[in-house]
Structure 1
Amino acid sequence: MAAFTEDEVGKTLDWEILLYGSISMYRNRKYLDDDLQWLRLRGYRVYSIDCKAWKSEAAMLESFGEVLSFPAYYGRNFNALRDCLGDVEVPDESGLVIVLDSYDWYTRNVGLAGKTVLGILAECSRHFLLRGRRFITLVQSDDPLMAFEGLAGVSTHWNRREWLNKDRGL
């Protein structure tokens, strides 16, 4: 399947997210919930992860394995995360969404690991898109200044309703 049909180009939420990279940021939970509803109604498989539970890199890696049902041989390191994400089943007719809720809680204390995780997700998205499949990451953060650059050649961006600083209370 093509990543997008001509009827979808420029007209759908998933197109809008993937146009600027595969990671969209949200501060307002209602906007996130609205967009998740839109994606679910179109058949997207959604996996939500509560990042408040991540007290360490090991906890984060374990969480991904549990939520996405990685195989027993999952090595619980960044290379293994990349490999197992690449093997996740992404529906042909829709796509897959990973929601990282309260990501700012995790990134406050982990330094570069927060950027590394998003870089891996961005890289996996690109690999899936090259095969005609949609892989999206939605990141909820209460920090209106959160931003990451250089993630597999792209940067994070804020969703369409919080694009402007004033829309995030700045």
Structure 2
Amino acid sequence: MAIWDLTDELNHPLDFLLIQNGFISLFHQQAVLDEATSWLRNHRYKVVKVDAAAWQSTVDLHQDVARALDFPDYYGSNLDALNDCLGDVAVQAYGWTASDAGLVLVIDGFEAFKGKDASTAHHLLDIFARQATYAALFGHRMMCLVRTGDPRLELPLVGGLSVAWNHHEFLSTR
């Protein structure tokens, strides 16, 4: 993973802005999310999207995430297995390759699933944040962009950090 230019402190690129406060960023406006994912794709990030609003149960969550990240057939479809497989994704065993600048998991409609199973929704983000930290130890960039229809959504600590709104919307969500 290339480092960012310290001399350009006031003009950091979008990827820096998205992960400077943690590996999970909140979005509300679809257009802002679309602009961010377009920028990331144009800068060689692999962007994969899941629709949490369609998840009726944890079974749906596990199937959707496993498909999006190319988990192996033996994936156990539980939170422990999710943690294990995301650890493999962190070291590029599957889900993305060294030719990608990084991996971006976009979770759309997060508040809908959070309303059905707040504990599992939180664990999903917490596991991703921990594995993104693990990925960084090997010079790999992973981030999760979470879009919600609730501009006032607040989440408990994820990976030991507060979950921040993206830099375009952070003032409008207060």
Cα deviation, residue 147, structure 1? 2.0
Look up the match of 1:76: 77
Q: C-alpha deviations, 1:36-77, integer Å up to 9, x for none?
A: 011000000011001122001121112111221110110000
- SS at the partner of 2:49? strand
Q: C-alpha deviations, 1:75-94, integer Å up to 9, x for none?
A: 00001011111212244451
Instruction: State how 1:76-155 maps to structure 2 within 5 Å.
Output: 76-88=77-89, 89=92, 90-92=96-98, 94-155=101-162
**TM-score normalised over the length of structure 1:** 0.91
Look up the match of 2:24: 23
- SS at the partner of 1:121? helix
* C-alpha RMSD of matched pairs (Å): 1.7
Cα deviation, residue 9, structure 1? 6.4
Look up the match of 2:61: 60
* Contact residue 98 and residue 138 of structure 1 kept, 8 A: yes
**TM-score normalised over the length of structure 2:** 0.89
2:167 aligned with 1:160: yes
Letter in 2 for 1:81: L
Letter in 2 for 1:113: T
Cα deviation, residue 120, structure 1? 0.5
- SS at the partner of 1:71? coil
Q: Distance in 1 between matches of 2:18 and 2:97?
A: 18
Q: Distance in 2 between matches of 1:155 and 1:57?
A: 24
Cα deviation, residue 99, structure 1? 0.2
Q: Distance in 1 between matches of 2:154 and 2:7?
A: 28
Q: Distance in 2 between matches of 1:39 and 1:56?
A: 30
Q: Distance in 2 between matches of 1:8 and 1:49?
A: 36
Look up the match of 1:42: 43
Q: C-alpha deviations, 1:86-133, integer Å up to 9, x for none?
A: 212244451000000111110011021111110011011100111111
**Structure 1: 5+ residue runs without aligned partners?**
none
* Contact residue 46 and residue 103 of structure 2 kept, 8 A: yes
Q: Distance in 2 between matches of 1:120 and 1:36?
A: 22
Question: What is the aligned residue count?
Answer: 166
* Contact residue 50 and residue 100 of structure 1 kept, 8 A: yes
Q: Distance in 2 between matches of 1:116 and 1:157?
A: 17
